[in-house]
C-alpha cells in the first residue's frame, strides 16, 4: 500500500506507514478502489526505476519536512476560496516525464503526467485535512488513545521536583541573595549576609532591627574566630543612634584592643569621652589619644592631645652627674600645680607630693618624675635622673710599719696622697680592736701610744661630704707586758648565782623571797618575767619550760655577794677599770672611751646625761650561745652607785 505522506510502499494490510507513521487506512479510503491500486503500481514502478541518489534525496526531503509530491509543487492556494486551474498544457514546465510510465507513446505519456500532476496538486490540501481528521479521530477520548505510563509521569515529576528543591536550596544556602533572604526571614544565615542586611536596615532607619542583625553577626564571627571591624563599627554607630552610649564605648574599646592599628574606634571613643560629663572622662580621653598615637602612628592624635593637656613641668637643674649635694626647683610655666616623686613605682599625681619649695638632693641616684595638673587633665611626665656622687677620700696612712717591736711604740696618721693638701679630712681611729666610727677618737696630730701585746690600729678618713674612705688596718706586736684580760664568763662568774641557771627557789633560799612587784618587760627576752624587790635592789625571774630562772640582778648596795675581781658598789671608776683589760684608747669627741674589743667580749665606757658614766662589759656564756652583761654605773664624781648583772639571749 502506498503512503500518501511520504510515498513509501507498505505491506498489504498495514495500518501505519513504517517510514513516517501516517495512517494508511485513511489514505486508502481517500484514494478509492482500483485507482488507488493503479497508483500504487505506478508508484512501485517509479520507485524501482528511480536512481538510488534520488531515493536518498527524497528521504532527506521527507526528514526535513519537504513536499512528498513526485514533482515540484507550486504554493497551493486555499481550495475553499479559489478553485485550482482546470487545464494544464503539455508544455507546462511543471510536468515531469519519467520513462516506463504509460504505454510508450508520447501523447499518452503526456496525458498521464497531466492527470497525475492534477491529482497530486489538487489532492494535497485535502490529504492534509484528512490526516488532521484521522489524527483527531485516533486521539479522541475513548477512540484508539494510547495507554498513559503513569510511572514515567510520576518519575519525571519527582525528578523535576527534586531538581527544583536542590536549586532552591543552592540559591538559599550558596548565593548572597539567598542568604540575605534567609537573614530577612529570621533564619540562619552567614555573618556576611547578616552584616549586609543590618546595614540596609540601618540605612532605612530601622535601628532596632539593624542592632539585632549586627549582634547576631558578631556572635557568629566570634564563634568562627573572625573579626569584621567594619561591621563592628556599624554596630557601634547603631548603639549610639539608639542612645546606648556605654555599649558603644565598650564596643569601641574592644575593637581597638583587638585591632590596635585601626583609627576609627579610637576616634569614636575619644569623641564619646570628650562629650561626657562623667568625672575623669576627659583625662581618660587624653590618655587614649596618646595610646592611639603610639599604636597607629597617626600624628593627629598627638596634636589633639597637645592642644588639650597641660605642658610638662620644667626644672632649673639639668639631669646628670654631680659631685655635690644639690637643690632643684620644679615649676609649670602655665601656672598649674606640680606633683613630683622619686619613687619609680608611684602613680602620679595621686602618689606624688605637691611641689611647694625647692627639693634637696642628697648623695645617691635620684630619678625625678613630675607632672602638671589642670583639674582632671594631667600633663606628660617630666623624667630625669640625677647622680649625686661625691668624691671619697683615700685611705689614711700610718707612720709606723707593721712589725714586732721590743718596746712601746708611737704612731701617727696622715691622709692619703691625693688628700694631703685637703684641709677638710678627718681621721677616726681605734686601737681597742673595734672598727672606727663617728664615736671613735679623732686623730689630732698627737702620736698614738700602742699598748703591749698584739695591737691592731684601724683608721678611716672622712671628707667634707661625709664620705668615708676605705679602712686602714695595721697589726703590731709590742713585746711588753699585755693589759689584763677582759670580763670572762667562766673566770668571773658569781659564786652566789648563775644567770639563767639559778632557779627562783634556789635564789630565794639564799637571798629571801623578796616582794613581788609585778610583771615586767626585759629587753631581748620574749618570755613572761616577774620582778622581786629586795632591800639592796631587785631580781627578775623569767618563766621557761624548766621553770622560773634568774634573768637579772640589780643592786645599789653592798650585798652578801660582791662583783667580779673584788669590785663593788662604792668603788671608783679608775679602780673598776684597772681590774679589767684596757688598751689605753683615748676618749672620743663625746667623752666615750673604748676599753677593748675582741671575739670573747667588749668593754667600753659611756658618758650619761647626768654626768655619770656606765662601765659596760660583755662576754659570751660558757656555752658560747648567749651574752652576760655586767654594768657599773657611776655618779658624776666617778663613784660606783650600782651594779647590774643581766642575761642577754
* H-helix or E-strand spanning residue 173: helix 150-174
Choose the weakest-confidence range: 341-345, 375-379, 594-598, 628-632.
Answer: 375-379
In degrees rounded to 5, what are phi and psi of residue 381?
-75, 140
Q: Which residue has cell 648567749?
A: 626
Choose the weakest-confidence range: 67-76, 270-279, 386-395, 488-497.
Answer: 67-76
Please report which confidence band the pLDDT of residue 438 belongs to, taking 50, 70 and 90 as the band edges.
very high
Is residue 392 within 8 Å of residue 469, measured between CB atoms?
yes
Cα-Cα end-to-end distance for the chain: 147
The model's pTM? 0.52
Please report the pLDDT score of residue 52 as a whole number.
53
* pLDDT tens for each residue of 395-414: 999 999 999 999 999 999 99
pLDDT at 192 over 50: yes
- In three-state secondary structure terms, 382 is strand
Is residue 285 within 8 Å of residue 252, measured between CB atoms?
no
Q: What is the mean pLDDT of residues 320-339?
A: 94
- In three-state secondary structure terms, 209 is helix
Choose the weakest-confidence range: 9-13, 269-273, 438-442, 556-560.
Answer: 9-13
Please report the pLDDT score of residue 94 as a whole number.
47
Please report which confidence band the pLDDT of residue 17 belongs to, taking 50, 70 and 90 as the band edges.
confident
Please report the pLDDT score of residue 163 as a whole number.
75
Q: Which residue has cell 514502478?
A: 45
Q: Which residue has cell 663617728?
A: 438
Q: What is the mean pLDDT of residues 177-189?
A: 77
Please report which confidence band the pLDDT of residue 166 belongs to, taking 50, 70 and 90 as the band edges.
confident
Please report the pLDDT score of residue 147 as a whole number.
73
Q: Provide the CB-side half-sphere exposure for 269 (13 A, CA).
A: 26
pLDDT at 126 over 60: no
Pairing verdict, β 453-462 and 426-430: antiparallel
CA dist 198 and 420 (Å) reads 89
pLDDT at 102 over 80: no
* pLDDT tens for each residue of 76-90: 444 444 444 444 454
Amino acid at each position: 500500500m502506498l503512503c500518501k505522506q511520504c510515498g513509501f510502499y507498505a505491506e498489504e494490510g498495514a495500518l501505519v506507514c513504517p517510514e513516517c507513521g501516517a495512517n494508511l487506512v485513511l489514505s486508502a479510503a481517500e484514494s478509492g478502489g482500483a485507482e488507488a491500486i493503479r497508483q500504487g503500481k505506478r508508484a512501485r514502478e517509479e520507485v524501482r526505476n528511480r536512481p538510488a541518489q534520488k531515493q536518498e534525496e527524497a528521504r532527506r526531503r521527507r526528514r526535513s519536512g519537504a513536499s512528498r509530491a513526485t514533482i515540484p509543487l507550486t504554493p497551493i492556494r486555499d481550495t475553499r476560496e479559489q478553485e485550482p486551474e482546470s487545464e494544464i498544457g503539455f508544455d507546462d514546465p511543471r510536468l515531469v516525464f519519467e520513462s516506463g510510465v504509460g504505454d510508450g507513446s508520447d501523447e499518452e505519456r503526456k496525458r498521464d503526467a497531466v492527470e497525475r500532476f492534477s491529482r497530486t496538486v489538487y489532492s494535497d490540501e485535502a490529504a492534509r485535512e484528512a490526516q488532521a481528521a484521522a489524527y483527531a479521530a485516533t486521539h479522541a477520548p475513548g477512540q484508539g488513545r494510547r495507554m498513559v505510563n503513569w510511572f514515567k509521569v510520576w518519575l519525571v515529576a519527582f525528578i523535576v521536583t527534586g531538581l527544583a528543591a536542590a536549586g532552591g536550596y543552592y540559591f538559599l544556602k550558596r548565593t548572597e541573595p539567598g542568604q540575605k533572604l534567609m537573614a530577612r526571614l529570621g533564619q540562619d544565615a552567614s555573618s556576611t549576609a547578616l552584616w549586609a542586611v543590618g546595614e540596609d536596615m540601618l540605612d532605612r532607619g530601622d535601628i532596632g532591627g539593624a542592632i539585632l542583625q549586627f549582634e547576631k553577626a558578631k556572635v557568629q564571627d566570634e564563634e568562627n574566630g573572625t573579626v569584621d571591624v567594619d561591621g563592628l563599627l556599624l554596630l557601634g554607630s547603631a548603639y549610639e543612634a539608639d542612645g546606648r552610649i556605654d555599649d558603644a564605648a565598650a564596643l569601641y574599646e574592644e575593637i581597638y584592643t583587638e585591632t590596635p592599628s585601626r583609627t576609627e574606634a579610637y576616634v569614636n571613643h575619644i569623641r564619646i569621652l570628650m562629650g561626657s560629663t562623667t568625672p575623669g572622662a576627659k583625662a581618660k580621653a587624653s590618655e587614649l589619644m596618646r595610646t592611639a598615637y603610639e599604636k597607629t602612628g597617626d600624628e593627629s592624635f598627638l596634636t589633639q592631645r597637645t592642644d588639650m593637656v597641660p605642658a610638662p613641668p620644667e626644672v632649673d637643674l639639668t639631669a646628670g652627674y654631680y659631685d655635690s649635694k644639690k637643690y632643684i626647683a620644679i615649676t609649670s610655666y602655665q601656672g598649674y600645680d606640680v606633683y613630683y616623686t622619686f619613687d619609680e613605682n608611684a602613680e602620679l599625681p595621686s602618689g606624688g607630693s605637691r611641689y611647694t619649695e625647692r627639693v634637696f638632693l642628697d648623695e645617691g641616684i635620684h630619678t625625678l618624675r613630675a607632672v602638671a595638673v589642670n583639674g582632671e587633665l594631667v600633663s606628660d611626665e617630666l623624667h630625669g635622673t640625677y647622680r649625686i656622687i661625691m668624691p671619697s677620700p683615700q685611705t689614711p696612712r700610718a707612720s709606723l710599719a707593721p712589725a714586732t717591736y721590743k718596746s712601746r711604740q708611737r704612731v701617727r696618721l696622715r691622709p692619703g696622697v691625693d688628700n694631703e693638701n685637703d684641709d677638710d679630712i678627718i681621721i677616726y681611729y681605734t686601737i681597742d680592736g673595734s672598727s672606727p666610727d663617728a664615736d671613735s677618737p679623732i686623730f689630732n696630730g698627737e702620736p698614738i701610744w700602742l699598748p703591749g701585746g698584739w695591737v691592731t690600729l684601724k683608721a678611716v678618713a672622712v671628707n667634707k661630704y661625709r664620705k668615708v674612705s676605705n679602712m686602714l688596718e695595721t697589726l703590731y706586736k709590742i713585746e711588753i707586758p699585755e693589759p689584763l684580760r677582759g670580763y670572762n664568763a667562766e673566770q668571773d662568774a658569781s659564786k652566789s648565782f648563775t644567770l639563767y641557771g639559778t632557779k627562783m627557789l634556789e635564789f630565794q633560799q639564799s637571798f629571801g623571797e623578796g616582794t613581788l612587784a609585778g610583771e615586767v618587760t626585759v629587753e631581748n627576752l620574749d618570755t613572761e618575767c616577774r620582778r622581786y624587790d629586795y632591800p639592796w635592789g631587785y631580781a627578775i625571774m623569767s618563766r621557761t619550760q624548766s621553770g622560773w630562772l634568774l634573768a637579772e640582778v640589780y643592786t645599789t648596795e653592798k650585798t652578801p655577794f660582791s662583783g667580779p675581781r673584788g669590785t663593788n658598789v662604792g668603788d671608783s671608776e679608775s679602780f673598776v677599770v684597772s681590774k679589767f683589760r684596757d688598751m689605753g684608747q683615748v676618749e672620743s669627741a663625746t667623752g666615750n672611751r673604748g676599753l677593748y674589743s675582741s671575739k670573747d667580749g667588749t668593754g667600753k665606757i659611756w658618758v650619761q646625761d647626768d654626768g655619770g658614766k656606765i662601765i659596760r662589759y660583755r662576754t659570751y656564756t660558757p656555752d658560747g650561745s648567749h651574752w652576760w652583761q655586767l654594768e657599773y654605773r657611776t655618779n658624776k664624781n666617778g663613784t660606783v652607785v650600782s651594779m647590774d648583772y643581766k642575761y642577754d639571749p
